[in-house]
Structure 1
Amino acid sequence: MTAPLIEFDTARLRLRQWRESDCTPFAAMAADPQVMEFLLPLPTRADSDASVERARALIAKNGWGFWAVEHKATGEFIGFTGLNVPLATLPFSPCVEIGWRLARHAWGQGFATEAARGALQVGFERLGFDEIVAFTAVGNLRSAAVMERVGMHEDVVGAFDHPLVPEGHPLRRHRLYRLDRAAWAAARGASE
Structure 2
Amino acid sequence: MSLVQTERLQLRLLRDDDGDAAAMLQLLNEPGFHEFIGDRGVRTLEQAREYVQKHTFGSYAANGFGMYAIERRSDGAWLGNAGLVRREGLPCADVGYALLGAYTGQGYALEAVQGVLAYARGTLGLGELRAIVSQGNARSVALLEKVGFRDDGTVVLPGKDEQLLLFVNMPASAA
Q: TM-score with structure 2 length normalisation?
A: 0.86
Q: Secondary structure at the match of 1:182?
A: coil
Query: Does 2:105 correspond to 1:108?
Result: yes
Displacement after TM superposition at 1:62 (Å): 4.7
Which amino acid counterpart does residue 128 of structure 1 have in structure 2? G
Q: Give yes or no for contact 1:66–1:81 (8 Å, CA) kept in 2.
A: yes
Displacement after TM superposition at 1:163 (Å): 3.0
Aligned to 1:9: 5
Aligned to 2:125: 128
Aligned to 1:182: 172
Aligned to 1:80: 81
CA RMSD of aligned residues (A): 2.2
Q: Give yes or no for contact 2:33–2:39 (8 Å, CA) kept in 1.
A: no
Aligned to 1:139: 136
**Are residues 60 and 10 of structure 1, via their aligned partners in 2, closer, same or farther at CA, if it must alter by over 3 Å?**
farther
Which amino acid counterpart does residue 155 of structure 2 have in structure 1? F
Which structure 2 residue ranges, 5 or more long, are not aligned?
none
Which amino acid counterpart does residue 9 of structure 2 have in structure 1? L
Q: What does the per-residue CA deviation read over 1:26-80, in whole Å, with 9 as the maximum and x for residues that have no partner?
A: 1012112233211222422344322222313433565432111111112111111
Q: Provide the rounded CA distance (Å) in 2 between the counterparts of 1:179 and 1:6.
A: 24
**Number of equivalenced pairs:** 170
Q: Provide the rounded CA distance (Å) in 1 between the counterparts of 2:137 and 2:124.
A: 28
**Are residues 164 and 76 of structure 1, via their aligned partners in 2, closer, same or farther at CA, if it must alter by over 3 Å?**
farther
Q: Provide the rounded CA distance (Å) in 2 between the counterparts of 1:59 and 1:6.
A: 15
Q: Percent identity?
A: 29
Q: What does the per-residue CA deviation read over 1:112-154, in whole Å, with 9 as the maximum and x for residues that have no partner?
A: 1101011101111221112010011111112111111111111
Aligned to 1:169: none
Aligned to 1:97: 94
Aligned to 1:190: none
Which amino acid counterpart does residue 52 of structure 1 have in structure 2? V
Pick which of 31-40 and 65-74 moved more.
31-40
Which structure 1 residue ranges, 5 or more long, are not aligned?
167-171, 187-192
**Are residues 129 and 42 of structure 1, via their aligned partners in 2, closer, same or farther at CA, if it must alter by over 3 Å?**
closer
Q: Provide the rounded CA distance (Å) in 2 between the counterparts of 1:9 and 1:47.
A: 29
Query: Does 2:158 correspond to 1:163?
Result: yes
Which of 18, 21, 24 is residue 22 of structure 2 equivalent to? 24
Q: Give yes or no for contact 1:33–1:42 (8 Å, CA) kept in 2.
A: no
Aligned to 1:49: 49
Pick which of 121-130 and 9-18 moved more.
121-130
Q: Secondary structure at the match of 1:155?
A: strand
**Are residues 34 and 6 of structure 1, via their aligned partners in 2, closer, same or farther at CA, if it must alter by over 3 Å?**
closer
Q: Secondary structure at the match of 1:122?
A: helix
**Are residues 52 and 161 of structure 1, via their aligned partners in 2, closer, same or farther at CA, if it must alter by over 3 Å?**
same
Q: What does the per-residue CA deviation read over 1:6-33, in whole Å, with 9 as the maximum and x for residues that have no partner?
A: 7121111110011211111210121122
